[in-house]
Structure 1
Amino acid sequence: MSHQYYLSKDTMWKATISCDATYDGVFFYAVKTTGIFCRPSCKSRIPNDENVSFFGSADEAQKAGYRPCKRCRPDLCVSKYDPLTFILEDTICLIKNNYIQNLSLDDIASNVGVSRFHLNRIFKERIGCTPRMYLEKFRVNKAKELLLTTQFNSTQIGYQIGYQSISSFYSAFKRNTGFSPNQFRTLHVRNCSNQK
């Protein structure tokens, strides 16, 4: 039997309007007017109490015809849901899988379902840099790998890792490593031969 049935409607309503995370996983609430169900901790707008139904599980809410909220993701089987963690993971995954594309901050933000301002802010708080800086670092690391493992020249590598212009590739590489791509390759080749 679900814990939800041991709670009064009043207790669940109070937990809902106070966004009380201690009730996450204990019950879910659904809003008739939107057709969406949420965790008690969801930060979405407080609904009118006459439009709210309570459920003991996400399955019950879905069987009743409600869709999971995109903000609090009540369909995920985690007891404590931190939406920022999932936004960051989705952003990093998107960057790693699409770094050769011409990705703008708007593209990244709309793909993960948040505003560019919000994404920039949480990325800086949690990762220490913006998504664009993260993309640049990821591309430069790929370039370093290609410089040391292939015979491609710097121009070929720049285009292969998603840069539209070679000057922007050179600038990004120098900003992140302190060297031009050719200096980096020469230095590492020399270091390897000195160690033999």
Structure 2
Amino acid sequence: MKDQINHTKEIMWQATVSCDSSYDGIFFYAVRTTGIFCRPSCKSKVPNCENVSFFPNAKDAKNAGYRPCKRCRPDLNIKTYDPLENLVKDTKRLIKNRYAQNLSLHKIASEVGVSRFHLNRIFKDKTGYTPRLYLEKIRVNEAKEILLTTNLNSTEVGYRIGYQSVSSFYNAFKRNTGLSPSQFRAYRNLNNDNQEID
């Protein structure tokens, strides 16, 4: 068992460099130059060895004056933490709460604290959608609801859900439903497509 062996600095350093999650909860490492401590599995940039200290628990690292990393959350009292899962949850929450705003991929990525390339790749790996397509689906679901419950015209609906042009709204709506907004409203009684995206 790893937690029963005497961990030398070299073993802990190798676990840190290789982001070995099997050592999570067994020790934590802190970086003098940043003032932050992490789990061994943290995907942050590998620090210089001479700037690293090791601690048996998060409390000792905090008592030594280090702050918990926001990426790997060593302060949470759980053995493993999947920052990518949380990144996806944060991105979904942001999109659902602010779909009516002018949300670019750059803006979403900067709000959740990663590069847009990293966010695009991770989000697609975890959900099957890019953030832009997910935003589009959320907006179209909202548009369907508005079309069925109000008398707003297509232009008003498009602007209300965040589109900057009528043609963008029309194209997105047709791509997702196979109908134009006015056709959807006219055939609403025949249309049973009430699927929501999670």
Tell me the secondary structure at the aligned position of residue 189 of structure 2.
helix
Q: Residue type of the partner of 1:135?
A: L
Compute the TM-score of the two structures, normalised by the length of structure 1: 0.87
Moved over 4 A (4+): 3-6
What residue number does 1:28 align with?
28
Q: Distance between the aligned counterparts of 1:24 and 1:52, measured in 2?
A: 16
What residue number does 1:80 align with?
80
Aligned residues: 190
User: Which stretch shifts more, 112-121 or 39-48?
Assistant: 39-48
Change (3 A) 1:4 1:47: farther
What residue number does 2:195 align with?
none
Q: Residue type of the partner of 1:183?
A: Q
- For the 8 Å contact 1:105–1:116, the answer to whether it is kept is yes
What residue number does 1:128 align with?
128
Q: Distance between the aligned counterparts of 1:70 and 1:93, measured in 2?
A: 18
Compute the TM-score of the two structures, normalised by the length of structure 2: 0.86
Q: Residue type of the partner of 1:69?
A: C
Residue-by-residue CA offset, 1:38-82 (whole Å, 9 max, x unaligned): 101123333333322222322322232112223322223332222
Alignment gaps of 5+ in structure 2: 193-198
Q: Distance between the aligned counterparts of 1:13 and 1:161, measured in 2?
A: 50
Give the superposition deviation at 1:122: 1.5
Tell me the secondary structure at the aligned position of residue 94 of structure 2.
helix
| % identical aligned pairs | 68
Tell me whether 1:107 sits opposite 2:107 in the alignment.
Answer: yes
Change (3 A) 1:18 1:75: same
Q: Residue type of the partner of 2:101?
A: Q
Q: Distance between the aligned counterparts of 1:47 and 1:144, measured in 2?
A: 50
Greater percentage in helix: 1
Alignment gaps of 5+ in structure 1: none
User: Which stretch shifts more, 182-191 or 162-171?
Assistant: 182-191
Tell me the secondary structure at the aligned position of residue 189 of structure 1.
coil
Tell me the secondary structure at the aligned position of residue 187 of structure 2.
helix
Q: How does 1:111-190 map to 2 (within 5 A)?
A: 111-189=111-189
Give the superposition deviation at 1:131: 0.6
Tell me the secondary structure at the aligned position of residue 54 of structure 1.
strand
Give the superposition deviation at 1:110: 0.7
Give the superposition deviation at 1:98: 0.5
User: Which stretch shifts more, 7-16 or 23-32?
Assistant: 7-16
What residue number does 1:39 align with?
39
What residue number does 2:66 align with?
66
